Amino acid sequence: SELLQSGYRYFVLELSDCVLMDSTFLGVLAGFGLKLSSARDAEPAIELLNPNARISDLLDNLGVLHLFKITHGPLELAGKGEMQVPCAAAPTREEVTRACLEAHRTLMEINPANVSKFKEVTQFLAEDLKRIKEGAR
């Protein structure tokens, strides 16, 4: 989000060392891809470089593959491209739970077939978030 606010509009994630993605990360990534695609007239603004077959299949099964450009080969930075390493963060339990809930809701909104997969997870996360907020009072 910080890079987006700084003017970056195209992102490449090099996934050679990524064996698997969980549904929360996929939901966050899909939400970001949806946000960027709508700003670019539906053209994918996130390139996934070298995803393994398992990750590609998971993206396809969740109905979010269209949000990404899938490529294979060496990482090449064109033009003003530069590598950015994410900074470390220390989110609170409430922030993590909220992000997880939003990610799963995003997956359900993008593809209604995901509702049956994540309905119970979102209910649990919503209840957990409510407990966390009540405990903070």
Distances in Å between the alpha carbon of 85 and those of 88, 106, 110?
9, 25, 28
Closest to 103 measured CA to CA, from 42, 1, 40, 25: 25
Q: State the amino acid at position 134 in one-letter form.
A: E
Quick: pLDDT tens for 87-122: 677 889 999 999 999 999 999 999 999 999 999 999
* Residue in the block written with tokens 């490529």: 71
Local structure of residue 113 (DSSP, 8 states)? G
pTM: 0.82
Which pLDDT tens digit goes with each residue over 14-47? 999 999 999 999 999 999 988 887 665 667 889 9
